[in-house]
């Protein structure tokens, strides 16, 4: 029987076979959201009527016998950083309160064309700046595994929605780990595709050279299906890669890793990582060996500078990207009393509309780009970026994929790190180098940490536009883990609803 606990591919096939209508499936998820979102708070906006309309359209096509995409009729949760025509889009910020985009992001267009039903917009750290959703202007999302903990961030709402069975698939964005880290913390699969693999058109920019849209799902295959649905060249995004989309669905189904070389990144597999995280990580390596893979150790000595460089590049770009939020054309306007000049109103609005972390990064970036400091900060950070890329190139000359734990710890408590930005930044230490190099990576749930019973994620990385490799490894390992556990990892999560 198909229900909200099924996988997306099961749902799509049931819809196609008319075992369940897309409208019924969508209603079931809308009910689940009503039932559980008071506890989880994944959504900032639920588009009930729009979702049902999209579902109806899919059902009508099925009735007419039209051919459908592999995800037609399946509900999805959309991170509130993607523009969707007519739907409130805030990027988690007060400054965009009330803004309804007049256009669709390319990813949204593709989802609509694929017959995917968009349930609503999910919570996130303001402008994707954060690792916990605590920086959202609209409240924190709770981790479905433990409501006192964060689901990670910035795409925490999307991850929590999938983990809480509010949606089988979701879209996030990943600038320094914002898909992989919440996926790891909520026990689901999340992928940051190769930079340029998915169009950024219509994605509210945080750091243009690092941002990338990607899929969340509960299985590797579902993640691959969503990945293929949204990927591909877009002439509206000059940085999108004009090359065939990697065959990720085929790779996810392949189910073997014989002869593959798995590179363990020395700098990201020891000190600073929670014991339970390392234990699950090492078990995963053993499983991969038992499936015929070979483990090699690689070293990436420049990763230790990656975090510092990231916190120069990302805020620099953000300081410029966020300049457009000035109250002149859309969004919040504060202090316009008919007497004040435009510049003053801009300033008052920006002070009222941006949260603390966003202001911190705007100030940091403005400073780093200032004349006299540019070379020392932005310039040096770009050099580190080149070195990190070279580290990856060297590592990939020895291994087909690279692996590490996604995060140093399992899900942390709400409030635990919110007053210590550097501690918060450190939770992205393993994910940030990936964005710096523009390669892709997957976060795969590989078990629960013994000490706290919370999910642990394995990060699997591949060279530029070789995203199929981590789907191949992820799919194989997922199958091996499932046969070991006998049930999916989320079966261990607390039941949130009555069902």
Partner 1 sequence: MTLDYAGAVAKYEPTLGLEVHVELNTKSKMFCSCATEFGAEPNTQTCPVCLGLPGALPVVNAKAIESTILIGLALNCSIAPYSRFARKNYFYPDMPKNFQTSQYDEPICINGYLDVEIETDEGPRVFRVDIERVHMEEDTGKSLHVGGSTGRIHGAEYSLLDYNRAGIPLVEIVTRIVPGTGKYAPQVARAYVTELRDILRSLGVSDVKMEQGSLRCDANVSLAPIGSGELGTRSETKNVNSLRSVERAVSGEIERQANRLENGERIIQETRHFLEESGQTRPGRSKEQAEDYRYFPEPDLVPVTPDAKWIEELRTRIPEKPSVRRKRLQVEWNCPDKEMESLVNAELLDVVEATIKLGAEPTRARTWWLGEISRLANEKEVTPTSLITAEQVAQVIALIVSGDLTDKLARQVVEGVVAGEGSPADVIEKRGLKVVSDDSALMSAIEAAIAASPDTAERVRSGNIPAAGALIGAVMKATGGAADAAKVRELLLKHLGQG
Element at 79 (helix H, strand E)? strand 75-79
> Per CB under 8 A, does 317 bind partner 1?
yes
Query: Which residue of 82, 221, 332, 364 would you call a contact of partner 1, by CB under 8 A?
Result: 82
Nearer to partner 1, 175 or 410 (CB): 175
Using the structure block, give the residue that is written with the tokens 């433990």.
Answer: 146
Stretch that binds partner 1, among 116-124, 249-257, 313-321, 488-496 (CB under 8 A): 313-321
Residue given tokens 């708070």 in the structure block:
41
Residue of 22, 69, 79, 121 with catalytic role: 79
C-alpha count within 13 angstroms, C-beta hemisphere, residue 130: 36
Does residue 201 interact with partner 1 by CB under 8 A? yes
Residue pair 144/163 in contact by the 8 Å Cβ criterion: yes
User: Does residue 324 touch partner 1 according to CB under 8 A?
Assistant: yes
Residue with smaller CB distance to partner 1, 322 or 477: 322
Residue 200 engages partner 1 in binding (rule: CB under 8 A): yes
- Among residues 236, 340, 383, 499, which is the contact residue for partner 1, using CB under 8 A? 236
Question: Minimum distance between the CB of residue 488 and partner 1, rounded to whole angstroms?
Answer: 35
**Least spacing, CB of residue 207 vs partner 1, in Å:** 8
Among this protein's residues, is 327 annotated catalytic? no
Please confirm, yes or no, whether 178 is among the known catalytic residues. yes
* Interaction between residue 208 and partner 1 (CB under 8 A): yes
**Distance in Å, CB of 426 to partner 1, minimum:** 25
Q: Which of residues 154-183 bind partner 1 (CB under 8 A)?
A: none
Site residues for partner 1, 347-366, by CB under 8 A, read 366
Which strands form 455-462's sheet, in the order they lie side by side? 43-46, 117-122, 75-79, 169-173, 213-217, 189-192, 440-448, 455-462, 401-405, 261-265, 294-298
CB 214 within 8 A of CB 227: yes
The label of the residue with tokens 């002869």 reads 259
Tell me: does residue 492 bind partner 1 (CB under 8 A): no
Q: How far apart are CA 497 and CA 499, in angstroms?
A: 5
Among 15, 28, 111, 205, binds partner 1 (CB under 8 A): 205
The answer to the question of residue 286 lying near partner 1 (CB under 8 A) is no
The DSSP-derived string for 313-331 is HHHHHHHHHGGG-SSSSSS
Closest residue by Cα to residue 385 from 315, 323, 447, 303: 303
The binder of partner 1 chosen from 14, 204, 458, 473 (CB under 8 A): 204
Distances (CA, A) of 242 to 127, 168, 199, 210: 28, 30, 11, 18
495 part of the interface to partner 1, by CB under 8 A: no
Q: Which is nearer to partner 1, 206 or 470 (CB)?
A: 206
326 near partner 1, judged by CB under 8 A: yes
| Nearest alpha carbon to residue 186 among 243, 147, 237 | 147
343 binds partner 1 per the rule CB under 8 A: yes
How many C-beta neighbours within 10 Å does residue 383 have?
Answer: 12
Distances (CA, A) of 205 to 90, 115, 116, 199, 338: 12, 26, 24, 12, 31
Nearest distance from C-beta of residue 170 to partner 1, angstroms: 18
- Return the residue of 275, 289, 323, 482 that touches partner 1, per CB under 8 A: 323
Contact between 238 and partner 1 by CB under 8 A: the answer reads yes
Paired residues of 296 in beta bridges: 263
Helix (H), strand (E) at residue 217? strand 213-217
Sign of CA dihedral 419, 421, 422, 427: positive
Q: Which of 75, 152, 168, 202 binds partner 1 (CB under 8 A)?
A: 202
CA angle in degrees (0–180, nearest 5) for 154-160-166? 135
Among the residue ranges 29-37, 260-268, 369-377, 472-480, the one whose residues contact partner 1 (CB under 8 A): 369-377
Burial of 312 (0-12, 13-18, 19+ CB in 10 A): buried
Binding mask 378-397 for partner 1 (x = CB under 8 A): x-------------------
- Considering the complex, what minimum distance in angstroms separates the CB of residue 208 from partner 1? 4
Say how far apart CA 414 and CA 412 lie, in whole Å: 7
Per-residue binder mask for partner 1 (CB under 8 A), 122-141, x = binder = --------------------
- Structure-token match 């819809």, residue found: 15
Q: How far is the CB of 197 from partner 1 (least distance, A)?
A: 15
Determine, following the binding rule CB under 8 A, whether residue 44 of this chain makes contact with partner 1: no
Evaluate whether 28 touches 189 at the Cβ level (below 8 Å).
no
Q: Of 453, 132, 477, nearest to 290 (Cα)?
A: 477
Task: Kindly write out the interface string for residues 394-433 of this chain, putting x where it contacts partner 1 by CB under 8 A and - elsewhere.
Answer: ----------------------------------------
Q: 9, 136, 154, 240: which is the annotated catalytic residue? A: 154
> Rule CB under 8 A: is residue 299 a binding residue for partner 1?
no
d(CA 476, CA 292): 11
Number of shown-chain residues binding partner 1 (CB under 8 A): 45
The answer to whether residue 131 is catalytic is no
User: Which is closer to partner 1, CB of 111 or CB of 293?
Assistant: 111
Q: Any idea which residues carry the catalytic annotation?
A: 79, 154, 178
Interaction site with partner 1 (CB under 8 A): 82-83, 89, 91, 96, 99, 101-103, 105, 200-205, 207-209, 235-239, 316-317, 319-320, 323-326, 328-330, 341-343, 346, 366, 369-371, 374, 378
């Amino acid at each position: 029987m198909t229900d909200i606990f099924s996988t997306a591919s099961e749902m799509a096939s049931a819809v196609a076979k008319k075992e369940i209508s897309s409208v019924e499936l969508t209603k079931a998820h809308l009910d689940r959201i009503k039932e559980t979102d008071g506890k989880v708070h994944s959504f900032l906006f639920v588009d009930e009527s729009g979702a049902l309309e999209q579902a109806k359209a899919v059902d009508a096509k099925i009735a007419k016998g039209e051919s459908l995409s592999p995800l037609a009729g399946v509900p999805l949760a959309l991170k509130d950083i993607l523009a969707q025509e007519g739907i409130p889009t805030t990027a988690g910020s007060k400054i965009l309160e009330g803004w309804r985009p007049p256009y669709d992001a390319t990813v949204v267009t593709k989802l609509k064309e694929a017959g995917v039903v968009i349930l609503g917009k999910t919570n996130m750290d303001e402008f994707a700046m954060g690792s916990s959703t605590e920086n959202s202007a609209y409240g924190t999302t709770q981790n479905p595994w433990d409501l006192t903990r964060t689901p990670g961030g910035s795409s925490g709402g999307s991850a929590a929605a999938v983990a809480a069975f509010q949606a089988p698939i979701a879209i996030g964005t990943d600038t320094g780990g914002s898909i992989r880290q919440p996926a790891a913390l909520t026990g689901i699969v999340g992928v940051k595709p190769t930079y340029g693999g998915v169009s950024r058109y219509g994605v509210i920019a945080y750091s243009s050279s690092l941002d990338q849209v990607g899929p969340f799902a509960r299985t590797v295959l579902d993640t691959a299906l969503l990945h293929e649905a949204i990927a591909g060249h877009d002439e509206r995004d000059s940085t999108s890669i004009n090359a065939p989309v990697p065959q990720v669905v085929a790779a996810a189904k392949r189910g073997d890793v014989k002869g593959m070389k798995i590179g363990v990144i020395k700098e990201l597999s020891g000190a600073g990582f929670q014991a339970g995280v390392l234990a699950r990580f090492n078990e995963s390596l053993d499983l991969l060996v038992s499936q015929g893979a070979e483990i090699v150790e690689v070293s990436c000595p420049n990763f230790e500078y990656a975090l510092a460089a990231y916190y120069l590049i990302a805020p620099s770009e953000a300081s410029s990207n966020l300049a457009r939020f000035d109250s002149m054309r859309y969004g919040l306007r504060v202090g316009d009393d008919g007497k004040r000049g435009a510049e003053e109103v801009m300033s008052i609005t920006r002070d009222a509309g941006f949260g603390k972390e966003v202001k911190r990064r705007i100030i940091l970036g403005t400073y780093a780009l200032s004349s006299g400091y540019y070379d020392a900060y932005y310039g040096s950070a770009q050099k580190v970026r080149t070195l990190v890329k070279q580290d990856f190139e060297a590592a990939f000359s020895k291994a087909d994929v690279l692996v590490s734990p996604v995060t140093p710890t399992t899900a942390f408590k709400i409030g635990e790190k919110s007053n210590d930005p550097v501690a918060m930044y450190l939770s992205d230490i393993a994910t940030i180098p990936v964005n710096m190099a523009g390669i892709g990576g997957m976060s795969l749930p590989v078990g629960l940490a013994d000490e706290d019973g919370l999910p642990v994620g394995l990060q699997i990385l591949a060279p530029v536009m070789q995203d199929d490799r981590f789907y191949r490894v992820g799919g194989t390992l997922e199958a091996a883990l499932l046969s070991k556990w006998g049930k999916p990892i989320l079966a261990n999560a607390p039941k949130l609803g009555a069902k």
